[in-house]
Amino acid sequence: MATTYEKIATTTLGSASSTITFSSIAGTYTDLRLVCVYTTANFGIYTTLRFNSDSGSNYSDTYLIGDGSTASSARDTGATFIGFGAYPNGISSGQFNLVETDIFSYAGSTYKTCLIGSSLDKNGSGDVQRLVGLWRNTAAITSITIQTNGGTMSVGSTATLYGIKAA
C-alpha cells in the first residue's frame, strides 16, 4: 500500500537561527502538515509563516486564544505573514512553543488556507491558541518559511514537514 502520511523533511537547528525554511516541496500530496517545537534565548519571540518567499501584504489570519483567565479573538488583515507560534504574546528564554499546522490543498489553484494550533505554558502564564491563516495567492506552495519577529530560535529547535496523500 502506498504511504499516505509521509515525512518530507526535518530541520533541527545546529546553530541559533531566525528562520527555518522548507523548499522545493513537491506537489504530489493533498495536504501538508508542519510540526515545530522551538525555544529561544531572547525575550518575547513569536514566529510567523510565509509561503513561496512572498513578503507582500497577501496574508491574513483570525485567532482564538485562551490565556488561563480569558478567551479572546482577534484578526490581522493585509498582513505580510500569518501568525504561527506564540503569536502575538511570544516566549522567552527557557520557554517552549509547540506548533502544528495543516495546510490544505497546497498545490491547488485556489487561495491557500491553513489551520494552526499553538501551545505554550510559562508556569504561571501562557496560552493555547487556534488560528486560521489565509494566503491570497493561487500558486502552488513550494516553499514554507518559519521566521521569528526578531530574535532567534535556539539550537535544537526542530520542525518536521509531512505530506498527506488522499486516495
Partner 1 sequence: MLNTVLGSLSSGVAVSTSSYESIASATGTGSSGTITFSSIPSGYASLQIRCNILASASNEFVSLQLNSNTGSNYTRHSLQGIGTSAVADGAANSSSINLDGNYWGPQSTYATVTIIDILDYASTTKFKTVRIFNGQDNNSNRGQVGLCSGVYRSTTAISTVTINISGGINYTTDSQFALYGIKG
Binding site for partner 1 (CB under 8 A): 1, 3-7, 12, 30-31, 33, 35, 37-39, 60-65, 71-75, 77-78, 96, 98, 100, 102, 104-105, 108-111, 113-115, 117, 130-134, 136, 156-158, 160, 162, 164-167
CB of 30 to partner 1, least distance (A): 6
- Return d(Cα 143, Cα 26) in angstroms, integer: 10
CB of 99 to partner 1, least distance (A): 10
Nearest residue (CB) to partner 1, 6 versus 139? 6
CB of 45 to partner 1, least distance (A): 15
Cβ(92)–Cβ(44) below 8 Å: yes
Rg (CA), the chain: 15
Largest CA distance in the chain: 47
Please enumerate in sequence order all residues whose Cβ is within 8 A of that of 152, keeping only pairs 6 or more positions apart, or say none: 16, 17, 18, 40, 41, 42, 45
CB of 48 to partner 1, least distance (A): 15
